[in-house]
Structure 1
Amino acid sequence: MRTALAWLLLPAALLADDLPRQASEILRTNCLQCHGAVQMAKLDLRSRETMLKGGERGAALVPGDPNRSLLYRFAAHFDKPAMPPGGKLQDWEITVLRNWINTGAPLDGKVDGEDDRAALAKLEDRPITDEERRFWAFQPVGRPEPPRVRDGDRARNPIDAFLLHAMEERGLTPSPEADRRTLVRRAYLDVTGLPPSPEEVEAFVNDRSAGAWEKLVDGLLASPHYGERWARHWLDVVRYADSGGFEYDRDWPNAYRYRDYIVRSLNQDKPFDRFIREQIAGDEIAPGSHDALIATGFLRFGPEANIKSEQTRMDELDDILSTTANTFLGMTVGCARCHDHKFDPIAQKDYYRMQAVFFPSKAVDALLVDAEEIARHKEANARVDAAIEPFKKQRAEIEKPYRERILDAKKAKLPNYIQAALRTPPEQRTEGQELNARQVEKTLSVSEEELTQAWTLDDAAAIGEIARAIAELEKTRPAPLPAAMAVAEDGPRPRNSYFLHRGSPDQKGSAMQPGVLSVLAREEWAFPEAQKAAASSLRRKAFAGWLASPDNPLPARVKVNRLWQHHFGEGIVRTPNNFGKTGDKPSHPELLDWLASEFVSRGWSLKQMHRLMLTSRAYRMASDDIAANAAKDPDNRLLWRMPRRRIEAEGLRDAMLAVAGNLDRTVGGPAVHPYIDPSLFQGSSKRTWEGKPVDDPSTWRRSLYVFSKRSIPLPMLEVFDKPDSIGSCARRNRSTIPTQALALMNNEFSLYEAEKFAARLRKDAGTDPGRQAERAFLLAFARPPAAAERAAAVEFIRSSDDGLADFCLALFNSNEFAYLP
């Protein structure tokens, strides 16, 4: 009775005869927008057959068993992702689907949906709403006035006014100024990445003039080592490496020219808007400039696919587009490759319009010399080739009878029918003989080893003389011309690029014209047609103009946020590569906009922005905790004290070299290969590392100049969180793991540098352990030891013959050495 009553109460929609029609209507209304012609997740719900086939997660239907049918489980919100995205179906609709599947999921024909072409065309037209444009990051950069604060003396720098205002509202007290020794060590490590010498420390400590700090800051920003330090931060963001990655991980011997371009540009204080334009379109902006050409290497540093295909080309373009957006816009656009961005107002069409900007570009190894030099180089090589040619012919004549005898012996071992095919003249062979002969001839060869074993003594001596003559001539060959990894185009009329449905090259939609992110462009950005005689389409030049425009709300905000992050430990926006809706909100939005507007008004000068931040009272605060502040703002988001931070991997290695006294401070040049234990890369025959021993002075360069091979990272750097260069890294991990302590204590490099440090102390301070300890503290920590520290150090140094070196190793392993004060 109860069962009959329940059926009477159900709507007629649930009667078995009507289930196929009702299920079809539910699917059409709620599902086909994504899983019809568009086939998101490769799932097509338009027919029973395609539901049984399923998509990326498996079959959508298991007839007769709704609990095993993903269609039902997602619709009932039993599993994730819960569907449809707009909200759960009504209970009766879920019941319809369950009963329909229980009856075997019958379906007459296909679920009626939009015409495929119409459905796909809808994907190419996703408007941006006014509400989406009102998100803070997409608003024009404002120019807020620095707020008034109670402690006006602390707020002479506008940065301090903004920070103090936020602290006063929360009842926080800023930390006092750090002592002068702490400040000078902090500034040197932060600006140049190298510790100050004791003499540099004392010069600042004893300089009591009113502008002593500003003078120190200006001197550090003028140092060539400033560019090296801040280039490292930039190279993380642009995924720089000296090799292509993946299985073959082919070396890029000319990659270093881009790294040196970054160092030069920073040291020259190149305006940041120019810096942007050169890296996106240097070849189009300044065709005759080698520096501008080198700058386009930015577009080349994505991982290099071993197999070239249309799919891998799309992957390369995705890397270029994603890295460009991360680097200059602080936005993640990669999601829009397959569908409209799920969180940010980035249409899939915008993605492919921007892809059209880079589609015509191709990788080139550009020679950095003029046409006359190239011609002279070719002529010189031709002269060497001409001189060598007679010797090659002599060797070939000597080797000819040996090759013939060895080949004849190999042929004699072949089956008779193949020997007959080889003896038959090619024009008289049957089709089968021709096939057999071709296949065998490809495999018949004579190796160098077989030849050398066959030579007579006289012929071996003659060939040895020829080889020596050729080697002498090769020495006269000119050195390879300097070249750079760059990009170029094949003229002003590029091939069409297309909107790709679901990101698949096999599902091309409309041809795309170049464009920019609609949410950031208040009006359509112009992409002029290139002249017929132009070397390229000039699309990248126009796109770079949009990126570097003062009206673009993101590049200035993103860049000053990156500077702030490296000076103060965290960005005002803590997600430096994601200013979108899933990113962090700014802790001080008015300060961020003030800094961005100031940046542009100062001609996009990076050094001026560094100076502004470094000369603030905030930068000079001590890093000590204040209990009352910590209770109200435990994460220090309002910056009431200077955060304590561990020096990154390269800085730690560089500091050891500098303190030990054997750092090679040469700026620029090819990368170096320090020693790496072969056991770390012997598993692959395709990966090599020509490492030099730890005592080879050529490896005592700054870590910026260590060859960055994606598959063979330097262990000392890897263990301290150097990124893998596969993608953009805007903020390094800061792990604390046992292998870090083991590396610092037992690594061959650490032990060697401890010995060099000890030798320096003997030279500087003589044999007295007390003076050695004092000098060691000044070099390592920029301060003299306390009485108790000095006494303990003396006792330890005297405890064994290796006491001084062990003491130096202990200093390298101390927190005070490894952390910014």
Structure 2
Amino acid sequence: MPIRRVISSLLILPWMALQAEEDAPDFNREIRPILAENCFHCHGPDEKSREGDLRLDTFEGATEGGEFADPVVPGKPGESELIARIHSKDPEELMPPPDSKRTLTEKEKKLLERWVASGAKYEEHWAWVSPVRASVPENKPVDAFILRRLEKEGLEFSKPATSGNLLRRLSLDLIGLPPSPDDFERFSNWGNYAAEVDRLLASPRFGERWARHWLDLARYADSNGFQADQLRPSWAYRDWVIDALNSNMPYDQFTIEQIAGDLLPKSDLRQKIATGFHRTVTCNVEAGVSPEGNRMNQVFDRVNTTATVWLGITLECAQCHDHKFDPFTMKDYYSLFAYFNNTPIEVQPPSNKNDVSHDFVGPYLDLPLSPEQQRKADQLDEIIADLTREREKLNEGSESEFVAWQKSAMASLASQPKWQAMKVTAFQSSGGEEHRVLKDGSVLLAGKVPDTATYTVEVETKLKDITGFRLETLTHPDLPGKGPGRGDAVRPNFVLHEFRAALKTGGKERPISLQKAEADFSQKNWSVAGAIDGKAKTGWAISPQFGKPHQATFELTEPIANASGSKFVFQLVQNFGKGRVIGNVRISAISDPSGVGSLPPGIVAILKKSEGKRNGKQVEKLRSHFLNSDPKLVRLEAQLARLKKERSDLKVDQTLVMVELEKPRKTHILKRGNFLAPDVEVTPGTPTRLPKLENSSNRLDLAKWLVRRDNPLTARVAVNRWWAELFGSGIVATLEDFGTQSEPPTHPELLDWLAVELMESGWDMKHVLKTIVMSQTYRQSSRLTPELLEKDPRNLLFARAPRFRMDAERLRDNALTISGLLSTKMHGKPIMPYQPNGLWRQTGRNEPKWVEQKDENRWRRGIYIVYRRAAPYPSMVNFDAPDRSSCMVQRPRTNTPIQALTMLNDPAYVEMALALADRILTESKAPNERVNYAFGLTLGRSATPREVKIMEELVRSRGEYYRENQNKLNAVLKSPKFFYNPKHENKIELATWFHVANALLNLDEVMTRN
């Protein structure tokens, strides 16, 4: 039974006289937050969850009923059921109900009573209304809004920050790096703040700093995510963002190209790369995943991310049901979904049946070669063309020589010289095996099989004028699988990496040059030519032809006149491992100026036929053999092969981009968000509560709608995020939510003024940032006074500058800059600086290889570090970097012991401390100035007397320790994890000042933007 009249007589009537004397409460600022927080869940926009048929988010719903005749009676709180229910003592009648765990404060109850008494007027939620520019002084627009609120609260601006603090703050905010000593000195002498702002906005470092913020929004990563988490090429999109920000691309164009650059008329390469924004979404390639289910999840993400980044609304709440707090329905959600529903499937069942992961199939876009790659490609193409012409000339001039060679070879076959086995006089193996020389002149190995071995064979022969050697690898019953290798009875292979020959006369050895190698059989990619090329990773092998003898012949560059008493020494280098060594070997020699004796049996068989009986294939085989026997041509072919491989290795890189299907998919509302339960069909469209988009069909229409002048959200959301980057919190604290559940703007007129300024300036981001940083509000001191702590502890009124720890990337970049290590190299593939060994092995199923870089790339900015979702760079995670599996609007700021341990002990930061110590010692002019010089490098100021005393004591104590324990120096200075090589030669001083540098990098003031 309604209890309205009882409550009215006891509580409401005494208030009515007061209500008339007081101003009506502000609906959007004071009333809507109460209703949204406590009532809309059951009495809001979501029709399916609405109880009592009562709707309190609209005037009509609140005044026209439901189960009760008079839920809200404008001007009459005593007759309004709403007011009765919030005062009820009966748990069955009380609102909000006790089981909701929500209660209204007395202040909130009185506000609702005043609101009803003043007429219960509803206002459109402020965020759904287009911003309007308020009138303020042109020269200080930001300060006018801030000061107006401060004066209302009885406050005033804080004192200006010192010049050094201000420059450091500005530099860290705009380019993410601290000023150099020269910057501090210039600003101290000239004090031209506006010029410093312009310099920093024009710096290429600007794009790198602000891209980090955008890439969190774009959930950019270099891997797919989920358990498999393979790496994928996305870095071209990251570079596009950096370049777009540096060029100050208008924010509307910045938006359109990322949402629909591929759909622009005559879209160019860079506009297509920009669509990587929506290809950075996670992709599940795990076994058993539904390719269509994966695609649908990606579309859900694209809808949710678009709504968050540009509209600042929690539209994902309408994926399974109408939004419970904001005026967005499931139809709104799936109408927006339709814009992104025309993308192809990105995963397919594995093409290799043995794979446990699906294939990731793109779509990809080929990138052009980099300028450096293109220069190298042009050079290689020119050389290859020249050598190809030279080869053609050699081939043309060799026809007559080919005819002559055939005749000579045929004549020589009648008196073909024979191979003669060379007598073994000594044999030694580095593997220590047993051996015995058999009657046929071969050496049989026995005993334990070594992992690797080099055989040294000393032989003698009476043969004169030797032109070639033959190496035979023979089978034997005592060998595993009969050989010819020793290591494995199933696969008795061997790998001969090098075959070397030398003439030994009078105890001295002279190397013999071998110009050509041929074999009866060579394993694929293991040609016998690799046994004489001097390369450690090539060699001769014979898989799969096991269990049969093989032979290789080696032609000498010049015949050897074998003198009496001379011997030959051969080395057979076999370093492959796993026992891949020869089990039975015999070496022979031949004196054959014609080379016929070294010919393969197949060539000899063709030559023995009369010319008239050879078919075309046999003639070509002879010609090919002849040409490949020409030393000059062989060298030319080898050079061409090497250059062509080098050219083919200059492969184009790829990047992930959006593409549109030719035939649009149909889109349906999905019951409970389940892609297997389609319901009513919908067409592309925008949320009905926002300005209408007529005749829209694709992503390009949507992108243009997002940046339309009458869109109330896009500009507001953007400037609020930029404000938060500079002040630590936004004018609207809930950066990701401008809906009815959001915190109301602290300075609504300022927010609207900045939004309009952005649009009317041509969507000029740098203009807005300059407007903000030029303000007195931005240039205040960050000192917190007792008065401010009491009246504004969260600094919502901006009566002082904020003070907060830098984010992970800026911390690292700051330390690299101070230490002098920072590389300003831009763009390109992700880098891999130091990381603990095996870290990736513990995360994800398909472990990519981490190749730690030992050059300047290890010291590039944090934005270039490879971002693997299953295991982001560890020190970044310790300082709250997300895994970027989803859109991150603002990172949390935590304060944990592990952060202190990271700064003190992470080898990357320890190496930076060593470099900083080296810099202090090599750059400071005198020992007594080192402490001040160190503070100048790290903080841009001199040390206080107290700080000097503390640091000098640290220098004294550490110096004394290392003078007494010099055996400890290398533990500090020679870590295998370091790549930096210090210049300062005094190791005791260097180790001492390392501790000073380490302490400085860990100072709160160094890690804080204040």
The alignment partner of 2:210 has SS state of helix
Partner of 2:363: 364
Alpha-carbon separation, structure 2, partners of 1:241 and 1:326: 18
2:676 matches 1:501: no
Structure 2 unmatched runs, 5+: 1-45, 51-90, 103-120, 345-361, 389-486, 497-518, 531-537, 539-637, 960-987
Partner of 2:999: 810
What displacement does 1:157 show? 1.3
What displacement does 1:689 show? 4.9
Residue 145 (structure 1) aligned to one of 116, 124, 135:
135
Residue 203 (structure 2) aligned to one of 223, 235, 246:
223
Alpha-carbon separation, structure 2, partners of 1:144 and 1:696: 54
Partner of 2:165: 182
2:519 matches 1:540: no
The alignment partner of 1:366 has SS state of strand
What displacement does 1:632 show? 1.9
The alignment partner of 1:753 has SS state of helix
- Judged with a 3 Å threshold, the aligned counterparts in structure 2 of structure 1 residues 221 and 684 are, in CA distance, closer, same or farther, namely closer
Alpha-carbon separation, structure 1, partners of 2:997 and 2:335: 58
Residue 728 (structure 1) aligned to one of 887, 893, 914:
887
Task: Kindly report which structure 2 residues correspond to 1:288-687, keeping only aligned pairs within 5 A, or say none.
Answer: 288-306=267-285, 307-362=289-344, 363-369=362-368, 453-454=492-493, 463=524, 464-465=526-527, 474-491=645-662, 493-521=663-691, 523-527=692-696, 539-684=698-843, 686-687=845-846
Alpha-carbon separation, structure 1, partners of 2:319 and 2:856: 48
What displacement does 1:724 show? 1.3
Alpha-carbon separation, structure 2, partners of 1:133 and 1:269: 37
What displacement does 1:507 show? 2.0
Deviations 1:617-651 (A, max 9, x none): 01100001122233222221100000111111110
- Judged with a 3 Å threshold, the aligned counterparts in structure 2 of structure 1 residues 815 and 456 are, in CA distance, closer, same or farther, namely closer
Contact persistence 2:834–2:907 (CA under 8 A): no
Deviations 1:250-297 (A, max 9, x none): 101x21111111111111110000111001100001443111101101
Query: Over alpha carbons, which structure has the higher Rg?
Result: 2
Contact persistence 2:778–2:801 (CA under 8 A): yes
Normalising by the residue count of structure 1, what TM-score does the alignment of the two structures yield? 0.70
2:187 matches 1:207: no
Alpha-carbon separation, structure 2, partners of 1:287 and 1:365: 19
What displacement does 1:681 show? 3.0
What displacement does 1:495 show? 2.2
Alpha-carbon separation, structure 1, partners of 2:495 and 2:165: 76
Partner of 2:473: none
The residue identity in structure 1 corresponding to 2:212 is: R
Alpha-carbon separation, structure 1, partners of 2:844 and 2:778: 50
Task: Kindly report which structure 2 residues correspond to 1:35-114, keeping only aligned pairs within 5 A, or say none.
Answer: none
Contact persistence 2:721–2:730 (CA under 8 A): yes
Contact persistence 2:777–2:801 (CA under 8 A): yes
Partner of 2:904: 745
Alpha-carbon separation, structure 2, partners of 1:76 and 1:159: 48
Contact persistence 2:831–2:853 (CA under 8 A): no
Contact persistence 2:871–2:883 (CA under 8 A): no
Deviations 1:547-566 (A, max 9, x none): 11111100000000011001
Task: Kindly report which structure 2 residues correspond to 1:188-203, keeping only aligned pairs within 5 A, or say none.
Answer: 188-203=171-186
- Judged with a 3 Å threshold, the aligned counterparts in structure 2 of structure 1 residues 231 and 80 are, in CA distance, closer, same or farther, namely farther
2:230 matches 1:250: yes
Deviations 1:712-744 (A, max 9, x none): 211111101111101111111111111111111
Contact persistence 1:675–1:692 (CA under 8 A): no
| The structure with more strand, counted as a fraction of residues | 2
What displacement does 1:309 show? 3.0
Alpha-carbon separation, structure 2, partners of 1:604 and 1:807: 47
The residue identity in structure 2 corresponding to 1:808 is: A
Alpha-carbon separation, structure 2, partners of 1:449 and 1:728: 55
Normalising by the residue count of structure 2, what TM-score does the alignment of the two structures yield? 0.57
Residue 146 (structure 2) aligned to one of 163, 167, 171:
163
Contact persistence 1:367–1:482 (CA under 8 A): yes
Partner of 2:117: none
Alpha-carbon separation, structure 1, partners of 2:158 and 2:788: 9
Contact persistence 1:245–1:709 (CA under 8 A): yes
Contact persistence 2:336–2:686 (CA under 8 A): yes
Contact persistence 1:175–1:626 (CA under 8 A): no
The residue identity in structure 1 corresponding to 2:325 is: F
Contact persistence 1:238–1:298 (CA under 8 A): yes
Partner of 2:635: none
The residue identity in structure 1 corresponding to 2:696 is: F
Contact persistence 1:770–1:790 (CA under 8 A): no
The alignment partner of 1:673 has SS state of coil
- Judged with a 3 Å threshold, the aligned counterparts in structure 2 of structure 1 residues 602 and 455 are, in CA distance, closer, same or farther, namely same
Alpha-carbon separation, structure 2, partners of 1:668 and 1:268: 15
Contact persistence 1:181–1:201 (CA under 8 A): yes
Residue 269 (structure 1) aligned to one of 248, 268, 283:
248
| The structure with more helix, counted as a fraction of residues | 1
Alpha-carbon separation, structure 2, partners of 1:246 and 1:195: 37
Alpha-carbon separation, structure 2, partners of 1:771 and 1:327: 50
What displacement does 1:817 show? 0.3
Alpha-carbon separation, structure 2, partners of 1:524 and 1:293: 24
Give the number of aligned pairs: 615
- Judged with a 3 Å threshold, the aligned counterparts in structure 2 of structure 1 residues 191 and 181 are, in CA distance, closer, same or farther, namely same
The alignment partner of 1:160 has SS state of helix
Partner of 1:19: none
How high is the sequence identity, in percent, across the aligned residues? 34
Alpha-carbon separation, structure 1, partners of 2:48 and 2:333: 20
Structure 1 unmatched runs, 5+: 1-30, 36-73, 86-130, 148-154, 388-447, 529-538
The alignment partner of 1:803 has SS state of helix
Query: How much is the aligned-residue C-alpha RMSD, in angstroms?
Result: 3.3
- Judged with a 3 Å threshold, the aligned counterparts in structure 2 of structure 1 residues 494 and 450 are, in CA distance, closer, same or farther, namely farther
The residue identity in structure 1 corresponding to 2:330 is: Q
Alpha-carbon separation, structure 2, partners of 1:33 and 1:566: 39
Deviations 1:172-211 (A, max 9, x none): 1210101101111111111110111111101001104xxx
- Judged with a 3 Å threshold, the aligned counterparts in structure 2 of structure 1 residues 772 and 509 are, in CA distance, closer, same or farther, namely same
Partner of 1:391: none
What displacement does 1:785 show? 1.0
The residue identity in structure 2 corresponding to 1:295 is: A
Alpha-carbon separation, structure 2, partners of 1:456 and 1:796: 60
Alpha-carbon separation, structure 2, partners of 1:751 and 1:657: 11
